[in-house]
Amino acid sequence: MVMTPQHESSSDGQPTGYACIQRYVKTLDSSPGVYRMLDGDSRVLYVGKARNLKARVSNYARPGHSGRIERMIASTASMMFLTTRTETEALLLEQNLIKQLKPKYNVLLRDDKSFPNILVAKDHAFPQIKKHRGAKKEKGAYFGPFASAGAVNRTLNQLQKAFLLRNCSDSMFESRSRPCLLYQIKRCSGPCVGLISEQDYRESVRDAERFLSGRSTKVQEDLAEQMMAASEAMEFERAAGLRDRIRALTQVQTSQGINPRGVAEADVIGLYMDSGQACVQVFFIRANQNWGNKDFYPRVGADVSAAEVMEAFLGQFYDNKEPPRQLILSDAIENADLMQDALSEKVGRKVEILVPQRGEKQELVAGALRNARESLARRMSESATQAKLLRGVAEAFDLDAPPARIEVYDNSHIQGTNAVGGMIVAGPEGYMKNAYRKFNIRGDDLTPGDDFGMMKEVLNRRFTRLQKEDPDRDKGLWPDLLLIDGGAGQVSAVHEIMAQHGVEDIPMVGVAKGIDRDHGKEEFHRIGQRPFALKRNDPVLYFIQRLRDEAHRFAIGTHRAKRAKAVGATPLDEVPGVGAARKRALLAHFGSAKAVSRANLADLKAVEGISAGLAQKVYDFFHDKG
């Protein structure tokens, strides 16, 4: 890719709007590329692609645009250009910059996370079947994506019933001396203690892979034949087990709802727009099976076309995901040829974009559209309720306007150990879970159980980071309201930290249990004001309670995870060069970390996977401390 910066931001006093854009048109040629429109503070307003930069930018230099584009042009003080070799490169670069820069006037996909897969691991004589998320680095066969962890878990549950494959870790497998509970409830064939041969287990793995690859009918036919043979041989217990396995496979198919015959591998994408909001519903079809659906709510404007929303969604959604062989859309996009070329080039095979008008594919799109319409209606209803509650919060706490970002803090510990702080965030669209943060309490000078000190540390670190990441408060990271779990003491401690950071303009409220410490008698504390309470049936009170409970849940969960990790910790964790695999090898060889610490150098060198150099490091670690 050839990327040549043509212009940078104009200096003060230069023309803006149409005049600014007309000045740039004179310098452009017909190359493909990407353009950026910036405001007077050099903030990116919009990122666009062009087959012909001169022709595309010329369009902005003439009046006659929608209200949204007119506002964008009026704010434009400078432009930047990057030329590319091909139009396809321009498309890929555009979507990459949109995700990175999040311009105000672009359609923006939010909450774009990876999706889980089912992995049949192949690095063991008895392969493990498990949920997998992230990069596909582990050796094995991957099946997916599934729309959610719940969809994967339901499928795994039924697959365990049907094929009796293990889901335990390799270290647990190696340490078993008798079968676990999963064997007792007929969810595993007990390979860890030799209750099934390696050959028979691999046959079960092969059947599971055939089922996940869409050859379920053949698998069920084979199981049915085996059941009949077992019945005729009067092996009734084995026949009953095979019958249960067939039922489990049928349950997987039934739970999937839609299993199209004519669509082997596709994402079915339906877009519904209403009142300046949009919902995109994606159904994942793999191996002729429906592996769940997921809804997305891209940021759009009132006058954005369906074609623009759909194209932006495809570019951003598949930026970090492998597209299937077919994308079946409810709405056509303007640059379908470019998008097909870009996605095909990315995965090294043909990707086809379809907008069906009849047949099974059109029925699939109709189902996705119906789900998108219903999901958007629910979301708009919830948003209206949330907006009303936020107005109530502003009234209750004398705020200038409904808060767009509420941060709620809570701490969790047991007698001061494994102390953590939790921060949850809520706004007009509900909980903003991608903004949640956890804080490992580090203060060595804190008295165990010092809640005031813990809260001061958490807020000190929070405001230090805010002032570093968003010093001008223009990125939307600063809260409009702080809610603290606690009374006058906690509020005073937090106020002290805020004053130290020069933060005097953010309202802060402490939420304390009343005299009887029950729901409904909460007292609200603010600096320099008397505590007050809300009526028991006030919806705002329920809303505050839910926020506090969510913060408590998040902090407790973080604390338990930290405690569990600490329970499993050993001195080996501190030895340089000893990772999880080598730690398992040492523990399996010697039986305990204490035995490792007492081992001589020759014994350490005898452990499989431990080199002479690493053995020396382990020996020195435990023998140079005295």
**Does residue 111 or residue 409 have the better pLDDT?**
409
Q: What's the whole-number mean pLDDT along residues 460-476? A: 88
**Does residue 252 or residue 241 have the better pLDDT?**
241
Give, for 556, the enclosing helix (H) or strand (E). Answer: helix 539-567
Give pLDDT, residue 449. 58
With H, G, I as helix, E, B as strand and everything else as coil, classify residue 618.
Answer: helix
Percent of the chain with pLDDT over 90: 35
Q: Which CATH class is domain 571-623?
A: mainly alpha
Q: What's the whole-number mean pLDDT along residues 581-595? A: 80
Which pLDDT band holds residue 209 (cuts at 50, 70, 90)?
confident
Which distant-in-sequence residues (6+ apart) come within 8 Å of 148 by Cβ? Answer: 115, 116, 292, 294
Q: Is the pLDDT of residue 292 over 80?
A: yes
Least confident interval from 130-139, 166-175, 328-337, 559-568: 559-568
Q: Which fold has domain 406-565?
A: Nucleotidyltransferase; domain 5 (3.30.420)
Give pLDDT, residue 6. 43
Find out whether 463 and 497 touch, Cβ atoms under 8 Å: yes
Which pLDDT band holds residue 480 (cuts at 50, 70, 90)?
very high
Q: What's the whole-number mean pLDDT along residues 478-500? A: 90
Strand positions, DSSP E, 495-595:
508-512, 523-525
Query: Residue ranges of the domains in the chain?
Result: 17-101, 117-256, 265-377, 406-565, 571-623
What separation in angstroms does the CA of 202 have from each of 57, 128, 139, 220, 252?
A: 61, 11, 16, 17, 22
Report the alpha-carbon distance of residue 26 to residue 350 in Å, rounded. 39
Least confident interval from 228-242, 317-331, 375-389, 480-494: 228-242
Give, for 198, the enclosing helix (H) or strand (E). Answer: helix 198-212
412: β partners: 420
Q: What's the whole-number mean pLDDT along residues 189-196? A: 91
Residue 517, judged by CB atoms within 10 A of its CB (0-12, 13-18, 19+), counts as: exposed
Give pLDDT, residue 5. 40
Q: Is the pLDDT of residue 563 over 80?
A: no
Give pLDDT, residue 588. 79
Q: Which of the listed CATH numbers 3.40.50.150, 3.40.50.10300, 3.30.1360.70, 3.40.1440.10 matches domain 17-101?
A: 3.40.1440.10
Which pLDDT band holds residue 8 (cuts at 50, 70, 90)?
very low
Picking from 526, 493, 534, 529, the residue whose alpha carbon sits closest to that of residue 510 is: 526
Give pLDDT, residue 413. 58
Report the alpha-carbon distance of residue 430 to residue 424 in Å, rounded. 11
Q: Which amino acid is at 47?
A: V
Give pLDDT, residue 453. 79
Phi, psi of 113 (to 5 degrees): -105, 165
**Does residue 116 or residue 230 have the better pLDDT?**
116
What separation in angstroms does the CA of 81 have from each of 8, 31, 40?
A: 8, 11, 17
Report the alpha-carbon distance of residue 624 to residue 621 in Å, rounded. 6
The string of pLDDT tens digits covering residues 130-180 is 999 888 888 899 988 888 888 888 888 878 887 888 988 888 888 888 888
**N- to C-terminal Cα distance for the chain?**
59
Give pLDDT, residue 9. 41
Per the prediction, the chain carries an average pLDDT of 84
Residue 518, judged by CB atoms within 10 A of its CB (0-12, 13-18, 19+), counts as: exposed
Q: What's the whole-number mean pLDDT along residues 395-400? A: 93
The string of pLDDT tens digits covering residues 510-556 is 998 766 555 567 899 999 899 999 988 889 999 999 999 898 888 88
The string of pLDDT tens digits covering residues 101-137 is 999 999 998 766 788 999 998 888 899 999 998 888 8
Q: What's the whole-number mean pLDDT along residues 599-625? A: 82
Give, for 421, the enclosing helix (H) or strand (E). Answer: strand 417-427
Find out whether 203 and 209 touch, Cβ atoms under 8 Å: no
Give pLDDT, residue 314. 94
Give, for 588, the enclosing helix (H) or strand (E). Answer: helix 580-590
Q: What's the whole-number mean pLDDT along residues 614-620? A: 85
Would you say the CATH fold of 571-623 matches that of 406-565? no
Give pLDDT, residue 252. 60
Q: Which fold has domain 265-377?
A: Nucleotidyltransferase; domain 5 (3.30.420)
Q: Which amino acid is at 240?
A: A
